[in-house]
Structures are given as C-alpha cells and as structure tokens.
Amino acid sequence: MDKYALNTDEEHTMDENGVHTDTDVVIVGGGLAGLAAACYLARGGASVRLYEKAARPGGRAATTVFEGYHLNLGAHALYSGGATEEVLRELGIAYVSHRPTDISVLREDRLYQFPDSISNLLRTKLLDLRDKLELGRIFAQLTGLKPASLARMSVSDWIAARARRPRVQQFLRMFACTNVYSAALDQVSAEVLIHKLQLSLKHPILYLDGGWQVLVDGLRQAAEQAGAQISTGVRVEAVEQRGRRVQGVRLANGHYVAARAVLIATTPREAIKLLDAVSAAPLGSYLATMLPAEIACLDVALRSLPDHAHPVVQDLEGPRFLTAQSRYAQIAPAGGAVIHTFKQLDPHHPSDPREDERELEGLLNRVQPGWRELLVRRVFLPRMDGVSMLPTTNIGGYAGRPKVQATGIERLLLAGDWIGEGFLADASMNSARQAAQLLLQQLSSRHIARAEAVLQ
C-alpha cells in the first residue's frame, strides 16, 4: 500500500484546514480488527494512535498462560481460505497451525466416526445406508449453491427443505450449531452456513501453537514497527465531532486527542456509547435487531489427557462441542492437556448458566472420564459473545449488517466481527482492511487538495 502524499512532520500536526491534530488516525479498541487496521494504516504512512481499555490488547483473541497452559477465551480455530488468512499473509504475521483429525459424534452415550470425508461417511455407523446417501447428496450439491441467494432463508428452513430423513436432519442441525456458533437456527441466515461449508470443503480448520495470542502479539509488533503507538489501560470516553465531521476523541482521564480520522473497533454497544445521540441513531437501529452468538464455555487444563482416541467431539443430543486442542497444537506443557468445551445458546430461549455448566461437565465426564482427578485449572465463561452480531434472516444476512461507513460521519469508520461480510475473525479482518484502505485514500486526497491550494 503506497504512502499518501506529503507525509511530513508538519503535515502530521495540521489538517487540510490548518487545524492542529495530534495524529492522523485514532483507533478505539485493540482486538484483531484494531491491530490489523493499525498495521495497514501505519504501513501506509499514516500516524496512528490505538487505545485499548484493557491491560493488554487482543480482546476475545487474548490467551491466558497459566503454568505453561495456554488458554484461549473459549475454543478458537482459524478458518483458512478466508479474510483472516489473507490479512495475516499480507501483513507477514507468522504462526504454526495444525489440522484437527479423529473427530467423533456423541449419540445416546456412544461415540461414532464423524463423516468428514467420503471414506468416513461410508465407514461410520452413525447413519444407515439411506441416511448416508441423502447426506452425501446434500454435501455434493453444496458447491453449486449461491450463499447470498439464501440470505432470507433460515438455517432451519434450509435443512428442512434439503433433508427428509430424521437422522440426517438431526445431524445437520448439530453441524450447523457448531458452524454458526448459535442454537438459534430459526433466526440465523442460511447464507452463513453455506458459505462456511463451502470454504471447509476446500480449506481446513486450523489450531494454533501458542493459542491466538500469537496472532495478537504478531499484529502488535508489526503495527509498532510500522510506527503505530499502542496504549493499553486507556479508555476512550467519547468521539468528538463538529457537525458531521470527526475531530478526535476524549479519553476517560479528560485528555483530548485531536485526529483527522477515528476508527472504532469495538463491540456494537461500546461503539454506540462513544457517540452522541444523533450520531448513534444509525447504529441504534442495527442494535435493535441484533442477535449475538452467545455461548457458554468451560475450559480445563489437565495434567494429562484421559482419552486420546476422542479429542474432538460434537454432541448429537444437544448443541455442545468438545475439543482437546492440545492434542494437535502446542498449548500445554509436555504431557499436559487443554480441553475447550462450549454450548451454543439461543438468546430468545435463555438457559440457566448453572445448568449449562453441568451439561458441559457431563460432556467431559462422558468423553474424557477421570478429568476431575487431573485438573490443574478450570475456567467457566457463562456468557460469551462468539460473534457480536449474527447475520440473520430479518436483516437479509451479511448484506444487512453495518458497513464500515455506517455512521455517516466524515472519516469515522467501523471495524469488527459485526461489520460487513465474513464470519468471526474473517469479518474483523476484512472490515479492518477495508476501513484502513478507505482512510488512507481519504487522507491522501485531502493532502493533495491542500497542497494544490497552497501552490495556486
């Protein structure tokens, strides 16, 4: 990405109208979206200040290390073939990844081979012959589907239209819950599921050595090496604007930071709190229809893995999932194990967090018996947003989510897992790259216009 014109110290203290600024761009939020945007902007020649309210950057991508165990905030996987992989490659962020194998399905207290290939479909005893033929036909037809055409159809309706056999319907519902991180299949757009399944047919799911902190640290280092200033433990109180144009931000400590542009890379609710009532109105309309992907997570660190034969298990009887990621990735000390379990929830049908925890403990009891005697650490997250805003049928799938310029305020942009197309980190990375490119273009054109005015 080319640096914009007239990138001098003087230019960095005055905007095109001769008004003092402290920086070109302020980024609010130090998750993946904020860090990736900081990399693009700083490498493009913009001066960047990023403020993260937490003690360290990363957001939901942060990893906690305890006695050599690397615990992500719930199960994390990199879905290759999407924007996340593209952005990491463009920015030169290195990581070591591994593809999970030996996936099982739990049904009526028995474990079966997951049909993730033609050979495994033929081999598994989970389904009878007619079930296998129907499921094979459904997956064979996936490549010819256009996900966007299914934006107004729910996952539940798509499954009902495609599958006639009860066992196949049950399997697809289980598989869908895992892929869309939600049990609200009557609300989530089928566009999300089909796009994810099409990607997974060509590109593997990956677990990362060191957890997702590796990506956070890599992005932070790349941004700072490019000149971005990253401050943690600093909360932005409000975005300051004059009319429909951004002026900078006000910090919680009372300090004002003047900027040519502001990029908000936070959750939807945090973003709205930064704006005045008029400016927040467009986002408020999205918030009114927003459906987050809520999950309950139980993560455990063990001295050893009780059962090596079943490291990844999907539960056919309920929206539950278990993965012993340490079986593949280096996230535990020698001989140790890290297991992530989670339950996909439906916000329209609230459950009791204590019952959710008991269900996840029950899954561990069945799949990894004896885990309690090997326990080093456990973390229960009763309610966590796997995705801030699911693409639902009522908003028309991905097309109904906010765009990076949704505020309508000049040079105030948005990025995050709830912005534009893509799911999970793909949305974060895609919106971060798009927002950075737009800001660099806007800053460049303003500098050129100012230079021409001076020369005339």
What domains appear along the chain, each with residue ranges and CATH number?
11-60+214-290+401-455 (3.50.50.60), 63-209+293-387 (3.90.660.50)
Q: Quick one: pLDDT band at residue 239, thresholds 50, 70, 90?
A: very high
What distance in Å separates the CA atoms of residue 282 and residue 270, rounded to the nearest whole number? 14
**Around Cβ 82, how many Cβ atoms within 10 Å?**
22
Residue 228 has pLDDT above 60, yes or no: yes
- pTM, two decimals, is 0.91
Q: What is the pLDDT of residues 311-362, one digit of tens each?
A: 999 999 999 999 999 999 999 999 999 999 999 999 999 999 999 999 999 9
What distance in Å separates the CA atoms of residue 329 and residue 351, rounded to the nearest whole number? 32
Residue in 367, 359, 362 with CA at minimum distance from that of residue 324: 367
Percent of the chain with pLDDT over 70: 93
Cβ–Cβ under 8 Å, residues 395 and 406: no
Element (H, E) at 181: none
Q: What is the pLDDT of residues 183-207, one digit of tens each?
A: 999 999 999 999 999 999 999 999 9
Across the range 393-403, mean pLDDT stands at: 95
Among 14-18, 118-122, 323-327, 380-384, name the one with the lowest average pLDDT: 14-18
Q: Quick one: pLDDT band at residue 450, thresholds 50, 70, 90?
A: very low
What distance in Å separates the CA atoms of residue 443 and residue 246, rounded to the nearest whole number? 13
Residue 9 has pLDDT above 50, yes or no: no
Percent of the chain with pLDDT over 90: 87
Residue 215 has pLDDT above 50, yes or no: yes
Residue 41 has pLDDT above 50, yes or no: yes
